[in-house]
Amino acid sequence: MKCPCCNEEMELGYLQTGTIITWTKKIHRISLLPRKGEVMLENNVFKGVNFPAYICKSCKKVLLDYSDKNYEEG
């Protein structure tokens, strides 16, 4: 997928949360610290969810898809 901001190729992975938010190539059972090639986006947020997400490491954008999650708009 091409990045809508800079048109560079984006990488498919997962936006995963635990005590931090990390973009990962595969889902980890426990999200502690990012591994080589992964990107820590936030520290001390939600508890244990993951979303399919594309990352653009050129312009630092992340696109996520939550269409498979059962969320209600409030």
- For the chain, give the percent of residues with pLDDT over 70: 72
Does 50 map to a domain? yes
Total number of domains constituting the chain:
1
Does 72 map to a domain? no
Whether residue 48 has pLDDT greater than 80: no
Supply the pLDDT for residue 32: 59
Does 57 map to a domain? yes
Does 42 map to a domain? yes
Note down the domain range covering 37: 11-64
* Averaged pLDDT score across all residues of the chain: 79
pTM (predicted TM-score): 0.67
Does 5 map to a domain? no
Q: Ramachandran region of residue 5, left (φ > 0), alpha (ψ -120 to 50) or beta?
A: alpha
Whether residue 9 has pLDDT greater than 70: yes
**20-24: strand order across its sheet:** 39-43, 20-24, 11-17, 50-56, 61-64
